[in-house]
């Protein structure tokens, strides 16, 4: 059964849609697809009215905690949160309404999985509250986990063995196809097919879905085994794809 997982991306305290790979720690400009006039709670309440669960709030850099908490408290238990999550602050966000916390860079350091960090996190909050972000980019016809705002390749290949191993530690996966995320250029079809064959826990794919036709293809390729999130393409974030149509389409499945 395919579910639509909504998103609230927060950058510099505002709800935005950006090209994720342009985030950096330098003075280079970030490519913004959309900057909303509404705050994060506006979108959280919208998703709550439509009974959409398991969406994610992503803090893109520092200075976004207050806006993130506003969203979580507007829809307690309905949203997950990611961006700077670690073993020391994870419980704080769960206590403030998040259903799950999402981690990437905290557990992937220097190109490797830091098992001690992952086990520490699981011991503190339980695997039932953890989503592991395996967002990836393609290299040599394979996909590898990327960290540090998608700027650094790890040596962790997205494979059946990796998926099986990581499933032991978490409740869900979130997987952005970072090469196409935010570009409205179509999904990574071969990645979707592979993930559908490999995963046995709830998994949300993000990246490139831009139309109802894309959703139909996604549902076919994923065999209904994956959930989907859409950002920049939606009309609520400045795109052409009707949010209402997406909600109605996905509720059929």
The pLDDT > 70 percentage for the chain reads: 93
Cross-strand bridge partners of residue 4: 228
Statement: residue 27 has pLDDT above 70:
no
Residues 6+ apart with CB under 8 A from 50: 247
Q: Look over the chain and give the mean of its residue pLDDT values, rounded to a whole number.
A: 92
Q: What is the pTM of this model?
A: 0.93
- Domain coordinates in residue numbering, the chain: 7-250
Residue pLDDT, tens place only, 33-61: 789 999 999 999 999 999 999 999 999 88
Is the CATH number of domain 7-250 3.20.20.70?
Answer: yes
């Amino acid at each position: 059964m395919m579910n639509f997982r909504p998103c609230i991306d927060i950058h510099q305290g505002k709800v935005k849609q950006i090209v994720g790979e342009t985030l950096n720690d330098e003075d280079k400009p970030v490519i913004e697809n959309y900057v909303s006039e509404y705050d994060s709670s506006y979108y959280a309440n919208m998703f709550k009215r439509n009974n959409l669960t398991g969406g994610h709030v992503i803090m893109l850099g520092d200075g976004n905690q207050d806006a993130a908490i506003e969203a979580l408290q507007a829809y307690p238990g309905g949203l997950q949160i990611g961006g700077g999550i670690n073993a020391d602050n994870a419980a704080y966000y769960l206590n403030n309404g998040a259903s799950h916390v999402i981690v990437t860079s905290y557990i992937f350091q220097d190109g490797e999985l830091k098992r001690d960090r992952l086990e520490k996190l699981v011991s503190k909050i339980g695997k039932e509250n953890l989503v592991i972000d395996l967002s990836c980019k393609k290299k040599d016809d394979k996909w590898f986990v990327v960290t540090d705002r998608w700027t650094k390749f790890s040596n962790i290949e997205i494979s059946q063995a990796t998926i099986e191993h990581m499933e032991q530690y978490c409740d869900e996966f979130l997987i952005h196809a970072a090469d196409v995320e935010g570009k409205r250029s179509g999904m990574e079809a071969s990645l979707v097919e592979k993930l559908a064959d490999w995963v046995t826990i709830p998994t949300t794919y993000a990246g490139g879905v831009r139309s109802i036709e894309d959703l139909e293809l996604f549902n076919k390729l994923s065999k209904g085994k994956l959930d989907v999130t859409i950002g920049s393409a939606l009309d609520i974030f400045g795109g052409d794809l009707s949010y209402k149509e997406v909600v109605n389409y996905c509720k059929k499945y």
